Amino acid sequence: DTAVSQTPKYLVTQMGNDKSIKCEQNLGHDTMYWYKQDSKKFLKIMFSYNNKELIINETVPNRFSPKSPDKAHLNLHINSLELGDSAVYFCASSQDYGQETQYFGPGTRLLVL
Amino acid sequence: RKEVEQDPGPFNVPEGATVAFNCTYSNSASQSFFWYRQDCRKEPKLLMSVYSSGNEDGRFTAQLNRASQYISLLIRDSKLSDSATYLCVVRVGGNYQLIWGAGTKLIIKP
């Protein structure tokens, strides 16, 4: 079984649309994350979610909103998509906040046209 | 200056050779250090932690130099399967946030 799964794997959409990416982990971890990896391969943390506490990277536009229906899921909703949102989005989880061993999902490749 | 800097490479290395690359960090309050590996179009995976006393795992050796604020990764007897991008990760004390380098691309050639 896949430890951290994301859907969809690829997402191509028009500018201005609203889209969601889903993430699920079956590791029983308490903390989940969303990362953005741009074309220059920089991996930047967007959100950390631990026991209903959301920690937001202040550089993330408020068009991005994480939603966690339960501990095993952390979805990412994006409003009014822009060209610059094109990137690979990785979901990850760790046993607890601050744990260096993070388990990543396979990534969602988003292309905004 | 970036918080975590790595030479992007690529490092083109013949199979069997030894290769080493460094990563420098700017925040002297950095507490923990790690190497992750990312294969092409795949997700990052933890390779090894870097302890103050150094860390060795098979062909891989990681070292920390706090005075000069860099960590290193040495790969001996390189294999074709070592081809990947190696990401340096630093955790700054306090908020436990991980700061990621952009990675060093390694290509092992037969």
- Residues B51-85: pLDDT tens digits? 888 899 999 999 999 999 999 999 999 999 999 99
Q: Do B97 and A45 touch (CB under 8 A)?
A: yes
Q: Do A98 and B34 touch (CB under 8 A)?
A: no
Instruction: Report chain B residues whose CB lies below 8 A from the CB of A40.
Output: 102
- Share the mean pLDDT of chain A: 91
pLDDT the model gives residue B94: 64
Question: Has residue A1 got a pLDDT over 70?
Answer: no
Question: Has residue B106 got a pLDDT over 90?
Answer: yes
Query: Residue B95: what residue type?
Result: N
Q: Compute the distance between CA of residue A55 and CA of residue A42 in angstroms, rounded to an integer.
A: 20
CA distance A42 to chain B (A): 5
pLDDT the model gives residue B48: 94
CA distance A25 to chain B (A): 15
CA distance A27 to chain B (A): 15
Which residue in B8, B32, B87 is closest to A100 by CB distance? B32
Which residue in A40, A97, A107 is closest to B43 by CB distance? A107
Contact A82, A18 (CB under 8 A): no
Residue B5: count other Cβ atoms within 10 Å of its Cβ: 16
Question: Has residue B47 got a pLDDT over 90?
Answer: yes
Q: Which of A67-81, A96-110, B29-43 has the lowest mean pLDDT?
A: A96-110
